[in-house]
Amino acid sequence: MGLCGGEGSEEREREWEEAAEAVAVAYDSCTWPPPVVAVCGPGNSGKSAFSRLLLNTLIGRYKRVAYLDTDVGQPEFTPPGFVSLHVLEEQTKDLTMIYLRPPKRCFFFGDVGAHRNPKLLLSYLFGLYDYFLQELYCFNETDNPQKSAIPLVINTSGWVKGIGLHVLSEILRYVSPTEVIRLRSPSEGKNLPDGAFWLDGHQGDSRVNLIVIRASQNSPRHLLVKKEARMIRDLRLIAYFRQCLPRDFPVFSCDDLVQGFSAIDPFQLPLSKIQVIDLHCQVSAPAVYDFLNGTIVGLGSSTCLPLSSECSSPWCIGLGFIKAVDIPGNCIHLITPASHHLLESIDIIFRSCITVPTCLLQVSDEVDDITERLRDL
């Protein structure tokens, strides 16, 4: 599969496959509750690659598997800034490709790191896990295959020091996984503490099955990793908004994307209907619209509230890119692949701190230029 790369990669691949198979065969789908597996480790250690391998292995046994993505910076199936819950029914053929999948449920965190608001991030993750328990981990509806208990794989962030370790520990305590897969780097200073570190000084079930496997060794140097992470985030965002264009629209360069996005007739949301929520800082009401133009925002509806005591924020319906804010015309012009049917219910916009790809920023710049020329007439 080429998951690990580098010296000894075949041995690591075999170790990963054996670990995934051990989780899958340890449970009898008829008499035991399916596994809840958390995959942990430092950044760039191969957590996402192993999670895909584990998903494929579990799908082969259970047919349906849930996937909880807690990594807002490098999510597996969504653009950056999301935490999401997916239900997968097909194996991933290529474990190295970027895929976008519509989630079962998701929240928009609006940033690529947890440091701004770890409390909010945890409330989102607890809300998603509560939804999984209520809707997908049921044992009293055996006659309903859509609500029969299924396994859960939890992919975690590579930020495992300081606040990152605190967030991870809170997740593991709340979820109480049956298995924790820990990827171990040869650089000891990067690794998580040994044992059930999240239970240190707390009550909990210490009978969790801990499995330690070696991390991927094909990691580039630190600065290159940062640059690569930014590129992957941009690619995911571009792939998401590419869905606004016809499938046969030719894209060979950034200029093609700019031309395509510029030609899209934007959806218009009435300002009077919209509540703008800033997830990470407070902006005074008169100035709130000044910061929206040329930004990526989350789209929400007050009718889409999760059934969770841990989180009262609405589910996110999708992302939008705001081309222009027309205050005199009481209108927000935005690009989004979300259906017009869903957009009719939008009454909440979540501001974000996510960097906008250049091809989208140029669309906003063109709108600003046109607006300035019209004012000069």
**Interval 102-113: pLDDT, tens:** 999 999 999 999
Q: Does the pLDDT of residue 84 top 50, yes or no?
A: yes
Separation between Cα atoms, residue 258 and residue 241, nearest integer Å: 11
Q: Is residue 300 part of a domain?
A: yes
Q: Worst-scoring range by mean pLDDT, 76-85, 86-95, 302-311, 364-373?
A: 364-373
Q: Is residue 36 part of a domain?
A: yes
Separation between Cα atoms, residue 171 and residue 40, nearest integer Å: 11
Q: Is residue 225 part of a domain?
A: no
Cα atoms in the 13 Å half-sphere on the side-chain side of 303 = 6
The proportion of the chain whose per-residue pLDDT surpasses 90, expressed as a percent, equals 54
Same domain, 159 and 297: no
Same domain, 276 and 176: no
Q: Is residue 308 part of a domain?
A: yes
Q: What is the CATH number of the domain that holds 350?
A: 2.40.30.330
Across the range 330-346, mean pLDDT stands at 92
Same domain, 208 and 270: no
Same domain, 64 and 197: yes
Q: What is the mean pLDDT of the chain?
A: 85
Q: What is the pLDDT of residue 376?
A: 44
Same domain, 18 and 143: yes
Q: Does the pLDDT of residue 369 top 60, yes or no?
A: no
Range of the domain at 182: 9-219
Same domain, 151 and 269: no
Q: What is the pLDDT of residue 312?
A: 77
| pTM exceeds cut of 0.85 | yes
Same domain, 211 and 271: no
Q: CA geometry: angle at 357 spanning 354 and 362, to 5°?
A: 120
Question: At 327, is the pLDDT very low, low, confident or very high (cuts 50, 70, 90)?
Answer: confident
Neighbours of 269 (CB within 10 A): 23
Domain count, the chain: 2
Which domain-ending residue is among 219, 235, 251?
219
Same domain, 209 and 270: no
User: Which class for 179: exposed (0-12), middle (13-18), buried (19 or more C-beta within 10 A)?
Assistant: buried
Q: Is residue 363 part of a domain?
A: yes
Full strand arrangement of the beta sheet holding 209-214: 105-108, 82-88, 65-69, 152-155, 36-40, 179-184, 209-214
Q: Does the pLDDT of residue 170 top 90, yes or no?
A: yes
44: left (phi over 0), alpha (psi -120 to 50) or beta: left
Q: Is residue 172 part of a domain?
A: yes
Same domain, 273 and 186: no
Which domain-ending residue is among 186, 219, 252?
219
Question: Is beta strand 82-88 parallel, antiparallel or unpaired with respect to 105-108?
Answer: antiparallel
Same domain, 14 and 151: yes
Which domain-ending residue is among 219, 239, 256?
219
Residues facing residue 351 across a β-bridge: 278
40-73 per-position pLDDT tens digit:
999 989 999 999 999 999 999 888 999 999 999 9
Q: Is residue 315 part of a domain?
A: yes
Separation between Cα atoms, residue 90 and residue 315, nearest integer Å: 25
Q: What is the CATH number of the domain that holds 203?
A: 3.40.50.300
Q: Is residue 239 part of a domain?
A: no
Structure-block tokens of residue 269: 């949301």
Question: At 143, is the pLDDT very low, low, confident or very high (cuts 50, 70, 90)?
Answer: low
Same domain, 268 and 208: no
Same domain, 136 and 203: yes
